[in-house]
Structure 1
Amino acid sequence: MDEWKDMLRAAKEWAEEAGKYQLERAEAPLVMTSKTSAIDLVTEMDVWTEKYVTEKIREVYPDHYLKTEESGNYDGDSDYEWVIDPIDGTVNYAKGLPFFCISIGIRYQGETVAGLVHAPKLRETYEAVKGEGAYMNGKSLRVSDTSAFNKAVIGTGFPYDKGVDADNNITYINKVIPKVGGIRRLGSAALDLCQVAIGRLDGYWELKLNDWDVEAGLLIVEEAGGRTYVKEEEKGLFVLSANKALFSELRQIIGRE
């Protein structure tokens, strides 16, 4: 466990340094391209951040596996794997909205044992080590105690192919809206999960995600006392999380099994 904490401390240092440069670079026009759709953006800072973080990891842990959003997988000869999203919420970053982050999850023998989500513009750093609780800027986190669904605020998002695939979350939005207190769409899966962990959101669901979007955030929710559900599907992951009082009801309303 001490080794997990050491790796998390290193990840935090690298993410904070990368985040500083993300903020500096955002003051000038960004070079960006599209991936799967016109709004599925990648900026030069996605590429720079991923290169910076992966090079730091390879210097200190040269035998570790890496799984990254932009450049793919790096082979290793270790029980450890790092799962990295250099900017989760790239559209927000490119548009000048503050809701974006660097997400780093660490797996040991296939199990997530440490997670970090650093949001430089918000000045919030979420972290967790398995069995050690979850924290934001050093303060212990706990999910909300909201128990009435009609008083709950739930987060969600939409896939990049929402305009060409009918499986675009509209069905589930229509199921949830009449029953819930409010819905929020913030634009970063990693930070949405962290909002559940800190109790600002009472629950969250989304479909067609990748593991680098949620690897760290899922552990942070669980270590903050929340529950999570992940299903691997043809076009990505279906993810649902909530506090313990609302989890089963949200899962039943969505009904995506």
Structure 2
Amino acid sequence: MTGSATDPLHEELLAIALEAAARAGELLRDGRPADLAVAATKSSPVDVVTEMDIAAEKLITGLIAGHRPHDGFLGEEGSSVAGTSGVRWVIDPLDGTVNYLYGLPTWAVSIAAELDGETVAGVVAIPMRGETFHAVRGGGAKATGAWEGERVLAVRPAPVLDQALVATGFNYVATVRAHQAEVARLLVPLLRDIRRSGSAASDLCDLAAGRLDGYYERGLNPWDMAAGDLIAREAGALTGGRPGERPSGDLAVGGTPGVFEPLQALLEDFGAWHD
């Protein structure tokens, strides 16, 4: 999508999100202790939280509240405030915690701003790649990187499905991911290949940047996809859930025009939307 004039409030929210993501990314990159350990678990013993997830969310919510004290929050690590302004911030302070715990580089800070229930601004910072992706609704999507400055994002021209590179993710609950593995087994012979990075926000941004042709995953939460979904759509991707539905915890699908619909149809046929 090409850039256009955008609402000043959306630009204000974007600027705050960019500042918060940069600060949290620096904290996570530079403050990671050598003896980093698991602070808690979530859905299963292998779905973890570290002390750094908690510290990053506290930094983000504190910074945003300093600028906009009447906004609401929904954060992965427990921030939940209703707010009175009509704006809600949907925050994943560290998307890809297991990667971070193991010292792998694909992890991200994801911050989205919703206005009256619609996402209007989104930022995904991937500090170990030196990249920050951002978008406002109706204004296109952009990325900044030290190697090339700022660039406008656009999805790849759509290949035929059997030449499409598609990313996915797997749940941390063993019974759920067993079915997800079966869906991937059925799907992979019909594609160029499947990738699994461990960060939904990063995958959606790679779709926006033309590095993937499609993406799907079951079991995402709002904070996993709010910013990345907006960035992908503003770069020209189509996103949804089951046919005719929006992305949800049942299923989130994204793709270039020409890949999205056949990928979505296969996922429906293979039962990717249930365990």
Whether the TM-score (by the shorter chain) exceeds 0.5 is yes
The TM-score with structure 1 as length reference comes to 0.94
Structure 1 residue 251 corresponds to structure 2 residue 268 = no
Residue 77 of structure 2: SS of its match in structure 1? coil
Which residue in 1 is equivalent to 2:240?
229
Could you say if the C-alpha distance between residues 166 and 87 of structure 1 is closer, same or farther in structure 2, counting changes exceeding 3 Å?
Answer: closer
* Contact 2:20–2:64 (CA under 8 A) maintained in structure 1: no
Match of 1:205 among 195, 200, 216: 216
Task: Map residues 190-201 of structure 1 onto 2, 5 A cutoff.
Answer: 190-201=201-212
Which residue in 2 is equivalent to 1:34?
41
Could you say if the C-alpha distance between residues 166 and 155 of structure 1 is closer, same or farther in structure 2, counting changes exceeding 3 Å?
Answer: closer
Which residue in 2 is equivalent to 1:171?
182
Which residue in 2 is equivalent to 1:181?
192
Which residue in 2 is equivalent to 1:104?
111
Structure 1 residue 50 corresponds to structure 2 residue 57 = yes
The count of corresponding residues between Structure 1 and Structure 2 is 255
CA distance in 2, matches of 1:100, 1:237: 23
Q: Kindly provide the CA deviation profile for residues 171-211 of structure 1, in whole angstroms up to 9, marking residues without a partner as x.
A: 32122111100100000011111111111010000001100
- Report deviation, 1:93: 0.6
Give unpaired runs (5+ residues) of structure 1.
Answer: none
Match of 1:159 among 159, 163, 171: 171
CA distance in 1, matches of 2:99, 2:177: 24
Structure 1 residue 115 corresponds to structure 2 residue 122 = yes
Which residue in 2 is equivalent to 1:216?
227
Match of 1:148 among 145, 153, 160: 160
Could you say if the C-alpha distance between residues 132 and 97 of structure 1 is closer, same or farther in structure 2, counting changes exceeding 3 Å?
Answer: same
CA distance in 2, matches of 1:220, 1:158: 22
Residue 179 of structure 2: SS of its match in structure 1? coil
Which residue in 2 is equivalent to 1:64?
71
Which residue in 1 is equivalent to 2:84?
77
CA distance in 1, matches of 2:83, 2:179: 36
**RMSD, aligned α-carbons:** 1.7
Q: Kindly provide the CA deviation profile for residues 6-49 of structure 1, in whole angstroms up to 9, marking residues without a partner as x.
A: 11112111211121121112252113232221220101110000
* Contact 2:218–2:250 (CA under 8 A) maintained in structure 1: yes
Query: Could you tell me the percent identity over the aligned residues?
Result: 38
Give unpaired runs (5+ residues) of structure 2.
Answer: 1-6, 145-149
* Contact 1:211–1:237 (CA under 8 A) maintained in structure 2: no
Letter in 2 for 1:26: R
* Contact 2:37–2:101 (CA under 8 A) maintained in structure 1: no
Structure 1 residue 239 corresponds to structure 2 residue 246 = no
- Report deviation, 1:252: 1.0
CA distance in 2, matches of 1:103, 1:165: 25
Residue 168 of structure 1: SS of its match in structure 2? helix
CA distance in 2, matches of 1:166, 1:54: 32
Match of 1:135 among 142, 147, 157: 142
Match of 2:17 among 11, 15, 23: 11
The TM-score with structure 2 as length reference comes to 0.88
Could you say if the C-alpha distance between residues 236 and 72 of structure 1 is closer, same or farther in structure 2, counting changes exceeding 3 Å?
Answer: farther
CA distance in 2, matches of 1:51, 1:216: 19
Letter in 2 for 1:21: L
